[in-house]
Chain A
Amino acid sequence: MSILPPDMDEAGFAAFLSDLRGTVGGDWVWSSDADMFPYRDAFSPVWNTSEEIQASSAVAPADVAQVQQVVRIAKRHRVPLHPISTGKNFGYGGASPNVQGSAVLDLKRLDRVIEVNEERNYCLVEPGVSYFDLYRHIQERGLKVMIDCPDPGWGSPVGNALDRGVGYTMPQFRDHFGAHCGMEVVLPDGELMRTGMGAMPGADSWQEYPYGFGPDPSGLFAQGNFGVVTKMGFRLMPQPEYYRTGLIRVPRRRDLVKLVNHVNYLSDSGMVSEVRFASPLAALLGNPEFAALATKMGGPSDAEMDAAASTAGLHSWAIDLQFLGPRAATAAQWDYARDRILSDIPGAEALDGDHFALPATERQLENDTQPYPTAIRRKGALGIPSLGIWEIVRDDGHVGFFPVLPRDGEAVFEMQRVLGDAQRQFPLPPYFSAVTAPLFWHSNTFQMVFAPSIRRDDPEHNAMVHRAMKHMVAVAAEHGWGDYRAAPIYQDDVAATYSFNGGSLRKFLEAMKDAVDPDGIIAPGRGGVWPARFREGARA
């Protein structure tokens, strides 16, 4: 293997690997090209270029004690570790590190579901547990709780939450970091720490009260590099009795403003699960004349869009609503949502959708009996992990930029216009147009998506995508829209946009990093937070 850890020669690397093998066993340390291939970012736009960041080696400890020993070995040899849970972070860097030559700390063997409590509605899991594993554990035991999983569901609750991933059920569960409750962490010196009530010996409320007493450092471990999370608790939804859906459509472009406000009310009142916004006019994008209008420089006028909708006989916007709970409650919530919106927006229409008792049948999960077009993926909506979404992956994968924007219709229009104009210089499909709908994934904010595909055999295309990503991040930041999650090759660009008061947040985080991890052992550069050892080189 030609890749060495930073500041290390071949002999030092061999000594490091020897120490790792002595701790975890020779079968669980890797450094050959073939063994390291899966730890490269399969979706990288800089694949096989000088910008691709690759690990030198990987180690998979069996338990927390071995994790502690590995961290101490890395500290002794001054080798950066890049912890991963199941390594499925495709589109956000996969398992690739921020520093060339890092050793991947692969936590896949820490795969115990430690507890699922169906009376108090929580679980406690290790990082190597996937959503499929947790789902299977619950199903095999007939436990009456529902998980909230991303799509695809092969990642881990710990890894996904630590990268602030999302799911598709009720607001308090689909923000996965927000739904966590309590964690155990191996610190950069190998010490073991528990947060919240986990810090109190004998406490039985670790997964019920996240804060304990005093400052809560949990946030430092999400998109952070202050420790290796080895256990994490999550709140779970009690298995709902019933699932109900409904569609509301509004005629005019401007109606989105009121529609968003109504959804905000319904969601923040705990009445609806994930709401899918869409524009029925998106079906017209195959028409060159309409596509030119929807992607017009500076954006089309409301009148132009309303005229196009009228000519096509389509509504301007639609929302897919989903309700979870007792049957009578879901019926009352749908009635309320429908009446509230239809009485406020002239011309609005409501359509009753499928509704059924849970658990759903296989046929119900296929979601092919809705009386209207729907973008809802039923499995995700009902907390059932799937791999089927792989069908949307084009070429050899993609990179993702998901700018956060206010839950406000006017803000949606502004992002459509600004980022639509910004991406025009790149030969890519129109990710932003006058019919682009907001994503309502995180509990209290919107996002949009820019996810151009990459092609292994087309470096010119990949270079264009790479330039486009950096350009979009920069333009969005000029308007106060920041990315929520990024691959290592973009984390510095994104972190630099969170620059209030001369970057005081980053300075604070790096001061702490220098204090607790002076050698930069744990994921240096993750989240744009660099220890002094690497800072100058990283910002050169």
Chain B
Amino acid sequence: MLLDTRFGRLQPNAVSHVPVLRFSGDVTGVWYDELDTRWRRKGFVLGGITGADALFVLETLANDRGRRVVSRTPLDLPRVKDVEAVRWIIAPHHPSVSA
């Protein structure tokens, strides 16, 4: 699960067994170090609470690997530099990465 620390120290609900990666606005590190490799393999559903700007970047990169945002919910959290917080799920869509 990805959490964007710009919106405070968010705690994942009821999914405490899920590994959590935190970042602050810039997804470069988590994508380069973790997601780029995982998204080249089959499977791997990813959830997160991030800024809408970070989600746009992640969604674009996910699409390159046959994945889509399958759930997207704006959250009632204070905006940070006019950026809205969004809860989302990205899942495999293309047969080449579907489990």
CA–CA, A27 and B94, complex, Å: 8
Question: Smallest CB–CB gap between B31 and chain A, Å?
Answer: 7
Complex contacts, A27 vs chain B, CB 8 Å: 94-96
With contact pairs A27-B94, A132-B36, A393-B53 given, residues A388 and B64 touching in the complex (Cβ less than 8 Å): no
Contact call A387/B57, Cβ cutoff below 8 A: yes
Residue ID in chain A nearest B66 by CB atoms:
A27
Q: Is residue A219 contacting chain B, with contact meaning CB distance below 8 A? A: no
Q: How many A-B residue pairs have CB under 8 A?
A: 38
Q: Is residue A86 contacting chain B, with contact meaning CB distance below 8 A? A: yes
Residue ID in chain A nearest B63 by CB atoms:
A38
Residue ID in chain B nearest A397 by CB atoms:
B56
Complex contacts, A86 vs chain B, CB 8 Å: 64
Contact call B28/A386, Cβ cutoff below 8 A: yes
Q: Is residue B60 contacting chain A, with contact meaning CB distance below 8 A? A: yes
Complex contacts, A386 vs chain B, CB 8 Å: 26, 28
Complex contacts, A154 vs chain B, CB 8 Å: 60-61
Q: Is residue B27 contacting chain A, with contact meaning CB distance below 8 A? A: yes
Q: Is residue B12 contacting chain A, with contact meaning CB distance below 8 A? A: no
Seen from chain A, the residues whose Cβ lies within 8 Å of a Cβ on chain B are 27, 34, 38, 42, 86, 88, 108, 132, 136, 152, 154, 385-388, 390-391, 393-394
24 interchain pairs, CB-CB under 8 A: A27-B96, A34-B68, A38-B60, A38-B63, A88-B60, A108-B64, A152-B57, A154-B61, A386-B26, A386-B28, A387-B26, A387-B27, A387-B28, A387-B57, A388-B26, A390-B25, A390-B26, A390-B53, A390-B56, A390-B57, A391-B25, A391-B26, A393-B53, A394-B82
Seen from chain B, the residues whose Cβ lies within 8 Å of a Cβ on chain A are 25-28, 31-32, 36, 53-54, 56-57, 60-61, 63-64, 68, 82, 94-96
18 extra interface residue pairs, beta carbon distance < 8 Å, beyond A86-B64, A387-B28: A34-B68, A38-B63, A88-B60, A132-B36, A136-B32, A152-B57, A154-B61, A385-B28, A387-B26, A390-B25, A390-B26, A390-B53, A390-B54, A390-B56, A390-B57, A391-B26, A393-B53, A394-B82
